A = this chain, B = another copy of it.
Amino acid sequence: MESATDAGAPPGLGFAAALVRMSHLVQHVFADVSRERDVTPQQAQLLCVLTSGDGVGMTDLSRLLHLEKPSLTGLVDRAERRGLVRRVRDDADRRACRVELTPEGEELAVRVHGEIVSRLEALAADLPGEDRLRVADTLTILLAQTR
How many residues of chain A get a CB closer than 8 Å to chain B's CBs? 49
Most interface-central of A11, A19, A131, A132 (chain B CB within 10 A):
A19
Copies in the complex: 2
Q: Which residues of B contact A133 (CB under 8 A)?
A: 3-4, 12, 15
Known contacts A15-B120, A16-B117, A124-B15; A142/B4 CB under 8 A: no
Secondary structure of the A contact surface, majority rule: helix
Q: Which residues of B contact A28 (CB under 8 A)?
A: 66
User: Does residue A110 face the partner (Cβ distance < 8 Å to B)?
Assistant: no
Q: Enumerate A94-147 residues with CB–CB distance to B below 8 Å.
A: 116-117, 120-121, 123-124, 126-127, 131-146
User: Does residue A88 face the partner (Cβ distance < 8 Å to B)?
Assistant: no
Could you say which of B124, B134, B146 contacts A123, with CB atoms under 8 Å apart? B146
Known contacts A18-B135, A133-B4; A10/B120 CB under 8 A: no
**When chains A and B are docked, how far (Å) is the Cα of A71 from the Cα of B142?**
34
CB atoms of B141 and A22 under 8 A apart:
no
**When chains A and B are docked, how far (Å) is the Cα of A121 from the Cα of B134?**
18
